[in-house]
Structure 1
Amino acid sequence: MIRLGLFCVAVFLLSEGVDGLFDTQGPSFVVEPPPRLEFTNSRGGRVDCQAEGNPDPMVDWVAADGSPLSVIPGVRMPMGNGTLIFPPFQAEIYRQDVHAAVYKCVATNAVGSIVSRDVVVKAEINQAWI
């Protein structure tokens, strides 16, 4: 009888472990970024992207060609939490390849990847009128 009880416990524990393997889920967007982000150099801008899945997906930003984004201090900061920040900047620091560009959010886990729609970023320079 004890053996039967131990066998039942072992089968239960194994089935719980096996069920856990089938709980995986590919990423899906909880917050998908908007199609456009427009901001001024005096205010800066940010765009958010969040995804869920099992296991938890990594959320990264890429350029239109799929290349990963790097941090450009004071100009562009992809954060590890899915937020892409464009801090306020002086007009002389404007970069067309950063401030007038297309970006995408990518969420990836062991099951697969999803890519957001294009996000067209446009920074406008505040001009002082004399």
Structure 2
Amino acid sequence: MGLLSLGTGVAIGYVIGTKTGRKTFDASFDNVRKNAEETWNRPDVQEFVEKTTESTYQLRQDLADGAKRAVAVASDAVKRAEQKVNEATDEFVSPETETTYDGDVVSDPAQSTESSGADWSNEGGSDPRT
């Protein structure tokens, strides 16, 4: 019988506690909501919200304009750099000395195809006398 009494007491306490707790929570929540609405509707709060909205809009415009200017400056810098690279390339590579690739052989018109007359027979590192 003791276990049945304990279970009944817990159930009654739970029902009473939840009803009371729910009423207290609902009252507290309603009080918080009412205070928030009153604060939101105050003229000084609404004035602050309006000023903040205007400032945010102006800041967004300023940032967008600044980003557009930065992109334009970067684009011009890239174009100038590309032009300088092309000019430097034109300076160092002329049609007379241009190297061409033909299959497995790289040919350079500036190199001579005639032998220099040097004896390269001992270039392998071994002594031909041995």
Whether these two folds match at TM > 0.5 is: no
Is the helix fraction higher in 1 or 2? 2
Query: Taking structure 1 as the reference length, what is the TM-score of the superposition?
Result: 0.30
Larger radius of gyration: 2
Is the strand fraction higher in 1 or 2? 1
The higher relative CO (CA closer than 8 Å, separation ≥ 6) is in 1
Query: Taking structure 2 as the reference length, what is the TM-score of the superposition?
Result: 0.30
